[in-house]
Amino acid sequence: MNHDTCIARLEGVHKRYGAVTALDGINLDIHRGELLALLGPNGAGKTTSIGLLLGLHRADSGTVSLFGRDPQDIDARRRIGVMLQSANLPPTLKVRELIRVTASYYPRPRTVAECATIAGITDLLERRYVALSGGQQRRVQFAMALAGHPELLFLDEPTTGLDVGARQGLWNAIRNLVATGASVVLTMHYLEEAEALADRVSVIARGRVVSEGTVDALRAHVAVRRIRCLTAVPLDTVQAWPEVEDASMQQGRLVIATQHAEVLVRRLLAVDAGLAELEVQRAGLAEAFTEITRDSEAADAAREAA
């Protein structure tokens, strides 16, 4: 699905709020038909990046474009759908009315019934928004985001508050939209979601993209693997080995983090013939992510110190 067309872009964008630098020369491209996940700790600049692409703020410097236009141009925004985590909708309106008024802003909207089917809320249409559970409200917001038949959807932490079943349903709906040619930008709270869903992940930290690539590439970025086993070798001995980055005892098991798993496994087996329940695992996305943001912070600190 990945054509080589960029439909939204941040190029060398700086944005400050008073003394706080929210974005520090960020570059970000969004391509047609892709599902891009923005990951990063709170305050990293995800929300500001999205806000600029939605035309909510102006960049201090750099270029922001949406379908080749300024996002503050309403014609550009007629091609996008939006779901903002922070928005509370009018409580007394019914779900049908909320979708209907949102659809009216667009030139070629979906029907209310179509939105409701995709978002799985056909049974909620006559309910007032205030009477819905948090998860149901998220799904209504999703239905509103796709009401305009958008080519690009911005979904700000869409699965917050959803139970496992509803989350799976939303993931499927998002995958189906992408399959019909829409692009989706997600900001995420749960890293596993990126693994399950995204074509591409951009990790944002301190106002810049610090890593960009497929989920696999992101994980490969971190060479750390974890060894677990039951062993009689004392912890201090293991901690003294040069290949060991970190070692600890967790629930009676020795857990080692290392970039040289093979060497260490060989040595452990040589030292302790009675070693049992050996496991070697590549670090998960969560660890990769922590590693990457820590690396970038360390690099920043080094640069500032220099």
Q: Which of 24, 29, 62, 78 binds other proteins (CB under 8 A)?
A: 78
Asked if 180 touches other proteins (CB under 8 A), the answer is yes
In the numeric block, the tokens 């590439």 are attached to: 217
Asked if 206 touches other proteins (CB under 8 A), the answer is no
Output 117 or 290, the one with its CB closest to other proteins. 117
Asked if 29 touches other proteins (CB under 8 A), the answer is no
Least separation in angstroms between CB 190 and other proteins: 22
Q: Which of 18, 19, 20, 86 binds other proteins (CB under 8 A)?
A: 86
The stretch near other proteins (CB under 8 A) out of 19-27, 49-57, 119-127, 250-258 is 49-57
Q: Which of 4, 18, 19, 107 binds other proteins (CB under 8 A)?
A: 107
Asked if 186 touches other proteins (CB under 8 A), the answer is no
What is the binding site for other proteins (CB under 8 A)?
Answer: 5, 32, 54-56, 67, 74-75, 77-80, 82, 84, 86-90, 92-93, 97-98, 100-102, 104-108, 114, 128, 148-149, 151, 154, 180-181
